[in-house]
Chain A
């Protein structure tokens, strides 16, 4: 029984194998014949589809090009005996002595980002809760509009404001006030002389720039929480604030998480405002009033002079590569949060 079946099948297989080339030929020639037979609008249709393929992959191509060029440019420092992968943890940056440790910039960036996130996340999420849960209808649209406009203000304008207003304020009011007040004067993080250009100024201006991002995204996440969850909680006798704190926030947690991660990515990559106010001094900051140097600033300040020195330039591109990898990680994490959110709602 099975043998006959096999015999019956085999010739068929051979036939298909024989006609494989025929089919391939047909598959190749069919579009061409179709194209020749088609009228004018049919021809445009077919050509258009091919023509659209190129821009569709432009963004992918640019990502690959960016990674490739950063990698190629950063290779010399990683293979050179003066550099090597150790530069990531080495603290001394002195191009004149061929010392290219970039950890001082990584630490500066991390400290600045930590201050910014620490200030912006509670404020931003609080603002988003107010906007979506308690805000009077009349005020909602104007506040939303203002946060959108805050997100649109160029970073150099924030930098200008911080440089002209905030830095003198820290120098003349905040630092003397905190250091002469017996309640705060002993705290180690308030020590040191300052000219206002400091870690604190960078962190605060970054926090201000992150607020609109966090408020907008977190507000969107809170608004998509189903109404019946709120109603169920209120019907059980919870007050409005208990509903907001315990029910709405936990239902919107993935969206809020995505907002925080996206803000984190923006904080690490922010350039102009931080460059103007952090003082750009090559030291690890020990107090809030110490100047610091972040990753984006060192590229902005030195790439212009460094491009004729291969190792120096390569070290700067290595910092760029670190920034790029960090931003890809943040994007991936944010995507994971969004996926988690879709899962909890049962979309996927």
Chain B
């Protein structure tokens, strides 16, 4: 105890011995306060959403707990959010099945089959631009192109295609990074054994890059899971699950849209439901994000 006190005193006398040392000390203290301010919103948001939403999704009773996820909203929106949960899962599944192959194959082509040059530069630049486009512009584009021009109509297909477009840049760039990190010797060994480029790519290179690829896919899924703006004009909203692929039967609800609709509603009990939905969405998104982080950390440790 005494030694710690001594150390503190020594430190304090060291920092006050000259003006420069004191400025140094002050700078560090201010930055420590700044980092606390920077991370505090995370806890503020989490506490607010959890304090109201926790009872809604973990409680036991009629309409809350598990029943919150297994009942449809029904008359006056007094039921659960099964429509939103199923809608989000369906949208993400369909978006992934279109967006992931498209971006993974694209990344494989530009890293494995092209030399550095204008082809690669164009694709990389396009995906960087795509990553920066505001989500509402994706929504407006999905509305103009998919809904209006291609006559797909609002619904599951148009909504998930719009989300698929948004997934492309994340998955493409992370897959590219993962493929680049695969040592050249692996490819050369495979080619020397007489394998074609195609089978080398699929059986050796992609297998080695797989963890990095999964990280990118999970990050992209986490990102589009919380998107509201692209879905407003492309997916519509619905109080039940979609039954058709086109037409008004395919309109689909999603969790972010449900939060928006409930929070803008003056009815008191809908605010509570909005918090419950937000907590559920946050848990889903953060789980996906943490899993992605763990995988990517494991991979970097293995490679280094």
Contacts and interface: CB of A to CB of B under 8 A. Distances in A.
A49 B197 CA distance: 9
Nearest to A276: B263
B24 A324 contact: no
B45 interface: yes
B38 A60 contact: no
A203 interface: no
A62 B130 contact: yes
Interface residues of B, number: 90
Contacts of B210: none
Interface in B154-170: 165, 168-169
A66 B278 contact: no
A231 interface: no
Given A59-B123, A239-B21, A327 B129 contact: yes
Contacts of A242: 20, 24
Contacts of B68: none
B168 A62 contact: yes
A290 interface: no
A69 B35 contact: no
B40 to A, nearest CB: 9
Nearest to B285: A152
Interface string B160-196: 0000010011001000000000000000000000011
B299 interface: no
A155 interface: yes
Contacts of B199: 41, 44-45
Nearest to B124: A59
Interface string B27-47: 110111011011101101100
A156 B227 CA distance: 8
Contacts of B222: 152
A153 to B, nearest CB: 6
Nearest to B125: A335
Interface string B270-304: 01001100100110011011100100000000000
Contact of A148 (B198, B225, B271, B293): B293
A272 interface: yes
Given A130-B35, A149-B289, A240 B24 contact: yes
A58 B106 contact: yes
The range of chain A's interface size is 35 or more
Given A130-B34, A153-B285, A52 B48 contact: no
Interface of chain B, main secondary structure: helix
A299 B232 CA distance: 11
Interface stretch (A160-168, A181-189, A248-256): A160-168
Interface string A285-317: 000000000001001100110010000000011
B143 interface: yes
B103 interface: yes
A198 interface: no
Contacts of B137: 66, 70, 269, 320, 323-324, 327
Contacts of B109: 52-53, 55-56
Contacts of B105: 51-52, 54-56
B143 to A, nearest CB: 7
A145 B140 contact: no
Nearest to A64: B126
B133 A127 contact: no
B34 A327 contact: no
Contacts, number: 265
A66 B133 contact: yes
B20 A60 contact: no
Contact of A304 (B21, B35, B132, B233): B233
Contacts of A317: 140, 144
A42 B256 CA distance: 48
A42 B196 contact: yes
A337 interface: no
A52 B134 contact: no
Contacts of B140: 70, 299, 303, 316-317, 320
A150 B285 CA distance: 11
Given A45-B199, A127-B31, A153-B285, A62 B37 contact: no
B278 A157 contact: yes
B123 A57 contact: yes
B235 interface: no
Interface in A121-139: 123-124, 126-127, 129-131, 134-135
Nearest to A265: B132
Nearest to B21: A239
Contacts of B32: 130, 134
A341 to B, nearest CB: 15
Interface in A101-128: 123-124, 126-127
B169 A59 contact: yes
A5 B42 CA distance: 80
B145 interface: yes
B48 A307 contact: no
Interface of A: 41-42, 44-45, 48-49, 51-60, 62-63, 65-66, 69-70, 72-73, 123-124, 126-127, 129-131, 134-135, 143, 145-150, 152-161, 163-165, 208, 211, 215, 239-242, 244-245, 262, 265-266, 268-272, 276, 296, 299-300, 303-304, 307, 316-317, 320, 323-324, 327-328, 330-331, 334-335
Given A49-B197, A131-B35, 17 more contacts: A42-B196, A49-B198, A51-B105, A52-B106, A59-B106, A63-B126, A69-B141, A70-B140, A148-B293, A153-B45, A153-B282, A157-B45, A157-B259, A161-B45, A299-B139, A320-B137, A327-B133
6 contacts: A52-B109, A56-B106, A62-B165, A66-B138, A148-B293, A154-B281
